[in-house]
A = this chain, B = another copy of it.
């Protein structure tokens, strides 16, 4: 009989935290009520971060875990060219909501990511459990509604393959942290890319508005995710080069994952339009990493087949 009261108290503190800077509708009722912009479709996705599988609390803070969970889910909206509308967070915390410090630490990171991305957290749930698990569901809309959300499956032979930025920083950051760089590591280096990744929401929206044929975020590893986009589109890929983040190796760029850069396939004319729009908005110029070819069995980097490597910086 004491636990529900404790839960209510912790939930009240979470509510206050989320109300500092963002909306927090509905956190005190059975469900939240939203008013999506009329007339367009909804884009929805869910993603989880599990301590011991995706993150290690000896290498990052509870706040980092909350940030990573929300940004990872938002990256799926970015990959469709959607703008965030709302998020819901289901938290399992060892010791349940009685573990106020851990619960509130994670939710503080969620609140920071929520403010940074402009995505209000409108609902949530806190349970006990042996592992820390943060499951985030995000809702978004294409704004404006036309063109529609961009799938993985639209790449066409002759398309250019663009990447919004270099890969491997997150994996390099994890390597640095495991090597003992610890909490004193530089705030802007790879460790920061590992702890506080940023979903490319602005880039994804502009790519959709520029008429991207196919799009996907780099979450499990660039090489694996390129294979998945090519599989979904029924095409092959000939890559010339892979942009590697400072401090990372090419293997980390290919297989590290959690970079959250976007892979974009589109024809040359639209690519020019996209480059102009990115420049006008002050965004980093995307790299052209290769071309789409008809033969789906072709997956080459500098003329040699590349494997669908990925997930190497997951802990499990």
Q: For A47, what are the chain B residues with a Cβ–Cβ distance below 8 Å?
A: 90, 125
Q: Which of A27-35, A60-68, A166-174, A268-276 contacts B (4 or more CB under 8 A)?
A: A27-35
- Whether A149 pairs with B50 at a CB distance below 8 angstroms is no
Contacts A131-B92, A135-B125; is A42 near B46 (CB within 8 Å)? Answer: no
Docked Cα-Cα span, A88 to B250, in Å, equals 35
B contact residues around A308 at 8 Å (CB): 1, 4-5
CB-CB under 8 A from A52, the residues of chain B are 129-130
A42:B34 contact, CB within 8 angstroms = yes
Is B30 touching A80 in the complex (CB atoms < 8 A)?
yes
A253 proximal to B (CB < 8 A):
no
State whether A31 and B77 are in contact (beta carbons under 8 Å apart), knowing that A1-B310, A311-B3 are contacts in the complex: yes
Q: Report the copy number of this chain in the oligomer.
A: 2
Q: Which residues of B contact A139 (CB under 8 A)?
A: 42, 44, 139
Q: Is A234 an interface residue (CB 8 A)?
A: no
Interface residue from B3, B33, B50, B80 paired with A33 (Cβ < 8 Å): B80
User: Do residues A41 and B35 form an inter-chain contact, with CB atoms below 8 A?
Assistant: yes
Distance in angstroms between the alpha carbons of A313 and B82 in the assembled complex: 42
Residues of B within 8 A of A217 (CB): 30
Write out the residue numbers on chain B whose beta carbons fall within 8 Å of the beta carbon of A44. Answer: 26, 31-32, 34, 86, 88, 122-123, 139
Q: In the complex, are the beta carbons of B310 and A135 less than 8 A apart?
A: no
Contact with B along A279-316 (1 / 0, CB 8 A): 00000000000000000000000000001111110101
Q: Tell me if A249 is interfacial: C-beta within 8 Å of chain B.
A: no
Contact of A128 among B39, B50, B123, B125 (CB under 8 A): B50
Whether A41 contacts B31 by the Cβ 8 Å rule is no
Residues of chain B contacted by A149 (CB below 8 angstroms):
31, 33
List 8 A-B residue pairs with CB atoms under 8 Å apart, sorted by A's residue number: A4-B308, A29-B151, A29-B232, A31-B80, A33-B41, A34-B43, A38-B39, A125-B135
Extra contacts besides A31-B45, A36-B41, A48-B127 (16): CB < 8 Å: A3-B311, A4-B224, A4-B311, A26-B44, A30-B152, A31-B80, A31-B82, A34-B41, A35-B42, A46-B89, A46-B137, A48-B125, A88-B137, A125-B135, A130-B131, A133-B135
